[in-house]
């Protein structure tokens, strides 16, 4: 039985002014288009059609909020790397995603989903470096692990852990498959910890899974060092230090 079985769709946010005001803590799910963000949300909620899954990349637009109760939320983000018109991508990034990720105070961490067959693409690395500036943790789900043999899974874990260890923020990494329902307990554990939820011991599932943590907690930088800043006009400035995933 899923810990998050009561997750329910709450709202879609297209403007920063519409972000839920009652949020105490929330976790965002980010990653390239089509890597399985919405599928992971459905799997973790033990629900087949909570978040919209599609074979067509770029189906999740805007921020989709799912409520977990007590002011806690998951946020399904639009994927990056999908070939939309450059102006459209930049507009969405500057006016919604970048200020949301950088400045949303109830946001406690980022679940970054990467296809286990193609992890750490240039855009993923840019996103990791860019979000690391917040000092908030990132938990990587290596998705579609069912497509890899065991030996390849072990190799990709080693490679991704080694790559992230040098990045100087708080990271954890695990394999995940929505198709085979693997990696669920490990992900639940991280989500519960971040969201301040109590994990009910489930003997059948066995709570021995432990996310592997590499690196240390980075201190948040001062606001003016953060790449993008939302002004009251909704305009934003490009990053000086870290390349953002759409620059």
Ligand X SMILES: Nc1nc2c(ncn2[C@@H]2O[C@H](COP(=O)(O)OP(=O)(O)OP(=O)(O)O)[C@@H](O)[C@H]2O)c(=O)[nH]1
**List of residues contacting ligand X (CB under 6 A):** 31, 33-39, 53-55, 57-60, 79, 143-144, 146-147, 177-179
Whole-angstrom distance, CA of residue 32 vs CA of residue 35: 6
Query: Residue 147 binds what, of Mg ion, ligand X, none (CB under 5 to 8 Å, by partner type)?
Result: ligand X
Query: Residue 54 binds what, of ligand X, Mg ion, none (CB under 5 to 8 Å, by partner type)?
Result: ligand X
CB of 79 to ligand X, least distance (A): 3
Q: Which is nearer to ligand X, 55 or 219 (CB)?
A: 55
Q: How many of the chain's residues bind Mg ion (CB under 5 A)? A: 3
Residue 171, class by beta-carbon neighbours within 10 Å (0-12 exposed, 13-18 middle, 19+ buried)?
A: buried
Q: Provide the residue count of the chain.
A: 247
Report the site for Mg ion in 47-86 (rule: CB under 5 A).
Answer: 60
The answer to the question of residue 177 lying near Mg ion (CB under 5 A) is: no
Query: Residue 169 binds what, of ligand X, Mg ion, none (CB under 5 to 8 Å, by partner type)?
Result: none
Q: Which is nearer to ligand X, 46 or 146 (CB)?
A: 146
Residue with tokens 């085979």: 180
The answer to the question of residue 38 lying near Mg ion (CB under 5 A) is: yes
Query: Residue 39 binds what, of ligand X, Mg ion, none (CB under 5 to 8 Å, by partner type)?
Result: ligand X
In 14-165, which ranges are E strands? 25-31, 63-69, 72-76, 107-115, 138-143
**Nearest-5° angle of CA 203, CA 47, CA 30?**
95
Cα Rg, the chain, nearest whole Å: 17
Q: Which is nearer to ligand X, 111 or 239 (CB)?
A: 111
Residue 211, class by beta-carbon neighbours within 10 Å (0-12 exposed, 13-18 middle, 19+ buried)?
A: middle
Q: Which is nearer to ligand X, 81 or 137 (CB)?
A: 81
Q: Which is nearer to ligand X, 65 or 133 (CB)?
A: 65
CB of 141 to ligand X, least distance (A): 9
- Cβ neighbors of 74 (< 8 A, separation 6 or more) are 4, 7, 26, 27, 28, 29, 41, 44, 65, 66, 68, 191
Query: Residue 245 binds what, of ligand X, Mg ion, none (CB under 5 to 8 Å, by partner type)?
Result: none
Which residues of the shown chain bind Mg ion in the complex (CB under 5 A)? 37-38, 60
């Amino acid at each position: 039985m899923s810990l998050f079985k009561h997750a329910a769709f709450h709202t879609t946010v297209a403007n920063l002014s519409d972000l839920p005001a009652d949020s105490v803590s929330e976790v965002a799910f980010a990653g390239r288009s089509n890597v399985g963000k919405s599928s992971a949300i459905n799997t973790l909620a033990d629900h087949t059609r909570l978040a919209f899954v599609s074979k067509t990349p770029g189906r999740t637009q805007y921020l989709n909020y799912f409520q977990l109760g007590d002011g806690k939320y998951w946020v399904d983000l639009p994927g990056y790397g999908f070939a939309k018109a450059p102006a459209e991508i930049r507009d969405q990034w500057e006016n919604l995603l970048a200020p949301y990720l950088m400045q949303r105070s109830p946001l406690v961490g980022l679940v970054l989903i990467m296809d286990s067959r193609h992890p750490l693409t240039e855009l993923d690395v840019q996103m990791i470096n860019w979000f690391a500036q917040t000092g908030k943790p990132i938990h990587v789900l290596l998705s579609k692990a069912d497509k890899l043999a065991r030996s390849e899974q072990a190799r990709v874990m080693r490679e991704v852990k080694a790559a992230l260890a040098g990045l100087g923020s708080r990271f954890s990494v695990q394999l995940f498959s929505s198709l085979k329902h693997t990696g669920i307990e490990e992900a639940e554990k991280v989500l519960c910890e971040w969201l301040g939820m109590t994990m009910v011991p489930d003997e059948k599932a066995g709570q021995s899974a432990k996310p592997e943590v590499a690196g240390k907690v980075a201190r948040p930088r001062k606001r003016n060092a953060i790449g993008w800043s939302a002004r009251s006009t909704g305009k934003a400035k490009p990053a000086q230090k870290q390349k953002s995933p759409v620059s």
